[in-house]
């Protein structure tokens, strides 16, 4: 069990602080904090300097524009020009815990009443990042990103998860982010560390109330030590009027495995930046995802996988299903450095357009400096096959049901890669519900 210190590190910028009357408070009994997790004065100074620098960088550089190569298909001026409030309110959004360990953040702050992580296995520490500090925080996240800089400067809360050497957590850790504060901004910062030979499953779920306009700006840093395993999932079903941006960065050690599965349903405008680095021989990274977009949604996925050492594997499979006038962007880059011999890297992006008005920009990339590698990449954009639809109709299957069946079959290749049973059931139910709406 790990208790929190009750000492919080307030944001640098006054414009992003929550109201002092916030009811959602961190858990904490100061004298029960294990010494390895206590915040030292040195760490407090380190984090304050990190936040101060990030705020200066953000104010100096501002948001990216479509003139920049990495943003040329995604215009974030709607976020840049909006004004966001720092008022806090208790969230009235329903959610269903996946298992017994659940950490709930409502409108940007940890909710003690709605969370349950008091009875943890030995060697597992879970709490608020405002109370638990690791010197590695901020060492992975891309400092060149305006969204990362804003998050580092202004984050108000987030999850801290530490699994020590040799510990295996047999139930998923469910992180829930509830949002229904119209006009608010939530800068959530998450830290996940899996020790040598440890194993943990973490699920981030973002849920927003329909038609509420707010901005979620999240950063998750993941460290997987040698022979460790982190199975990470993200389910994003924010409000259809919201903005959602997240950067996830992971370092993967020798013979370690990091898997990330991202499922996107919500937000009017959003982006996932997923970045990984394989730092030890025998490491493996699996990054799969699916985005289901309709109306005028715009969602961007950028991936970067760095093979820094020999004998590592990375497999990436992303699929998109778009209806109406939805827009999607996929840009995946695999870097194989000079010394990374015997690399095995696969990247694929497939897209299914359900209407003539939907559009996808896809750009898979390989950058290889080693000569003994096995690397492939590809991308497809297509429509449902009329012959297959006709065949189902000749077998007595209703056209609407046949449409949904073929669309789900397209998505199922990604869903089959989900190993955690309770997460797979949840995602499949959400996909079926989405398909029923667009097929009706």
Phi and psi dihedrals of 98, rounded to 5? Answer: -80, -35
pLDDT digits (tens, 9 = 90+) for 312-345: 999 999 999 999 999 999 999 999 999 999 999 9
Q: Return the bridge partners of 343, or none.
A: 373
pLDDT of residue 86: 82
Cα(244)–Cα(271) distance, rounded to whole angstroms?
7
Instruction: Label residue 40 by pLDDT band (50, 70, 90).
Output: low
Cα–Cα nearest to 347, from 365, 369, 367, 368? 365
From the CB of residue 34, how many other CB atoms can be counted at a distance below 10 Å?
Answer: 12
Q: How high does pLDDT run on average in the chain?
A: 90
Q: Which two three-digit tokens encode residue 73? A: 């298909």
What's the pTM? 0.91
pLDDT digits (tens, 9 = 90+) for 146-204: 999 999 999 999 999 999 999 999 999 999 999 999 999 999 999 999 999 999 999 99
From the CB of residue 325, how many other CB atoms can be counted at a distance below 10 Å?
Answer: 16
pLDDT digits (tens, 9 = 90+) for 111-139: 989 999 988 999 999 999 988 878 898 88
Cα(218)–Cα(273) distance, rounded to whole angstroms?
10
Contact 301, 267 (CB under 8 A): no
The CA–CA distances, whole Å, from 231 to 34, 173, 266, 396 equal 26, 10, 22, 41
The H or E element containing residue 176 is strand 173-179
Written in H, E and C, the secondary structure of 26-81 is: CCCCHHHCCHHHCCCHHHHHHHHHHHHHHHHHHHHHCCCCCCCHHHCCCCCHHHHC
Instruction: Label residue 10 by pLDDT band (50, 70, 90).
Output: very low
pLDDT digits (tens, 9 = 90+) for 341-357: 999 999 999 999 999 99
Answer positive or negative: Cα dihedral of 270, 345, 365, 295. Answer: negative
Q: Residues, the chain, total?
A: 440
Cα–Cα nearest to 4, from 132, 110, 106? 132
């Amino acid at each position: 069990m790990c208790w929190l210190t009750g000492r919080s590190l307030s944001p640098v910028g006054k414009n992003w602080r929550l109201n002092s009357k916030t009811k959602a408070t961190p858990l904490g009994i100061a004298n029960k904090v294990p010494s390895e997790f206590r915040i030292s004065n040195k760490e407090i100074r380190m984090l304050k300097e990190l936040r101060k620098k990030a705020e200066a960088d953000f104010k100096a550089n501002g948001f990216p524009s479509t003139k920049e190569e990495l943003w040329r298909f995604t215009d974030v001026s709607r976020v840049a020009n909006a004004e966001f409030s720092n008022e806090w309110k208790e969230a009235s959004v329903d959610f269903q815990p996946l298992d017994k360990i659940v950490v709930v953040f409502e409108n940007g702050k940890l909710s003690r009443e709605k969370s349950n992580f008091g009875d943890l296995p030995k060697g597992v520490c879970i709490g608020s990042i405002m109370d638990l500090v690791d010197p590695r925080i901020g060492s992975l996240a891309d400092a060149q990103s305006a969204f990362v800089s804003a998050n580092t400067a202004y984050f108000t809360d987030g999850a801290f998860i530490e699994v020590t050497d040799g510990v295996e957590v047999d139930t998923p850790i469910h992180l829930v982010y509830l949002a229904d504060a119209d006009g608010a901004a939530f800068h959530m910062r998450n830290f996940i560390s899996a020790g040598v030979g440890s194993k943990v499953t973490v699920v981030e779920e973002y849920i927003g109330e329909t038609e509420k306009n707010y901005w979620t700006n999240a950063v998750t840093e993941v460290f997987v030590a040698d022979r460790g395993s982190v199975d990470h999932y993200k389910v994003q079903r924010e409000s259809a009027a919201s903005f959602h941006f997240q950067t996830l960065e992971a370092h993967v050690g020798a013979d370690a495995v990091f898997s990330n599965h991202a499922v996107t349903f919500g937000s009017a405008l959003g982006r996932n930046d997923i970045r990984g680095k394989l730092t030890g021989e025998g490491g493996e990274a699996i990054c799969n995802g699916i985005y289901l977009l309709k109306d005028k949604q715009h969602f961007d996925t950028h991936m970067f996988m760095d093979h820094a050492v020999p004998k590592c594997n990375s497999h990436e499979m992303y699929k998109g299903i778009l209806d109406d006038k939805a827009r999607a962007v996929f840009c995946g880059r695999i870097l194989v450095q000079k010394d990374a011999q015997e690399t095995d890297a696969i990247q694929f992006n497939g897209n299914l357009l359900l209407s003539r008005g939907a559009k996808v920009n896809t750009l898979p990339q390989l950058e290889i400096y080693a000569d003994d590698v096995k690397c492939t990449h590809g991308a497809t954009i297509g429509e449902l096959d009329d012959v297959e639809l006709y065949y189902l109709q000749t077998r007595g299957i209703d056209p609407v049901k046949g449409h949904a069946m073929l669309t789900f079959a397209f998505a199922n290749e990604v869903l089959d890669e989900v190993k955690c049973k309770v997460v797979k059931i949840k995602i499949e139910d959400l996909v079926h519900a989405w398909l029923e709406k667009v097929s009706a």
